[in-house]
Amino acid sequence: MTSDRYGPTFQRNALAPGILLAVALVVALLLLESEWYGTLRFVISVLALIIAWFALQAKHWWWIPVFLVIAIAWNPVIPFDLAGQAWALSHMAAALLSLVAGVLIKSPRVGDGKS
């Protein structure tokens, strides 16, 4: 870990959205047949786009298509009617990917006011 006396020289902007996305995906898996699922799809899509934006800022280009696919697959505007075991597994896979991306996407800390 690269750090100095002021703490790490990098920041993980995608960590909090990654954790929130993983939680939303697991909760959505539990509420697949509920009327709340549409709202959770919206939350999932927005959080996936936020993580994609942080990946773009950190120049981690390989994460962008992953989270664009998640945002499209779970979008509430033009929903895909996916069901079954594969859809449930995709919830868990996307949750795992969001946690891994949250940890791995990091960018240099700039402008924090230290001399």
What predicted TM-score, i.e. pTM, was given to this entire model?
A: 0.83
Q: pLDDT tens digits for the chain (115 residues)?
A: 555 666 667 788 889 999 999 999 999 988 888 888 889 999 999 999 999 999 999 899 999 999 999 999 999 888 777 778 888 899 999 999 999 999 999 888 776 555 4
Q: Is residue 115 part of a domain?
A: no
The number of distinct structural domains making up the chain is 1
The amino acid at 110: V
* 6 within some domain: no
Q: Which domain holds residue 97?
A: 12-107
Largest CA distance in the chain: 56
Residue 4: inside a domain: no
Domain membership of residue 3 (yes or no) is: no
Task: Let me know if residue 114 belongs to a domain.
Answer: no
Q: Is residue 113 part of a domain?
A: no
In a domain, 45, yes or no: yes
Going by C-alpha positions, the residue among 31, 24, 105, 15 that lies closest to residue 70 is 24
